[in-house]
Every structure is written in structure tokens, then in C-alpha cells.
Amino acid sequence: MNHRMMDEGPQWLKHMLQSLEGLEYGTIQIVVHDSQVTQIERVERRRFSLEQTRKRDKVQRSNGQL
């Protein structure tokens, strides 16, 4: 991230840029009221491959966990 960008601009922009750090899958939602940013929401999603899930389930079944 460009740290110079973090030092300039409004406070909400700084928070939005921080919210983007480390986000692989997900959304950043900016809520505006009366032309002012009032809220920033971050929803992060975790993606798992079907192959990894099948391997995990197989191990758990063999260990009697499922």
C-alpha cells in the first residue's frame, strides 16, 4: 500500500485503504448519508477447494470425528 496515500486525504479514505489490506475475497461497502461517508463495512470470504474439503472429511471419518 502507498503510505503516502495514507498520510493524505480524509479519515474515511485511510480506513478504507486499511480495510483492503490482506483482503483476498470479499467486499468493502461504503455507506454515505447526506454526502458524507458514515460507515465502512468489510466482509471477508474464505475459499476452500473441494479437493481440500474431501481430504479433510476423509481424515475426520477415519479418526471417528464425523
The cell 503510505 sits on which residue?
3
- Please report, for the chain, the start and end positions of each structural domain, with discontinuous segments joined by +: 3-62
- Confirm if 41 and 25 have CB atoms less than 8 A apart: no
User: Any idea what DSSP says for residue 35?
Assistant: T
pLDDT at 5: 46
**pLDDT by residue (tens digit) across 22-63?**
899 999 999 999 999 999 999 999 887 777 777 777 777 787
pTM for this model (two decimals): 0.54
Contacts of 6 (CB under 8 A, 6+ apart): 14, 17, 18
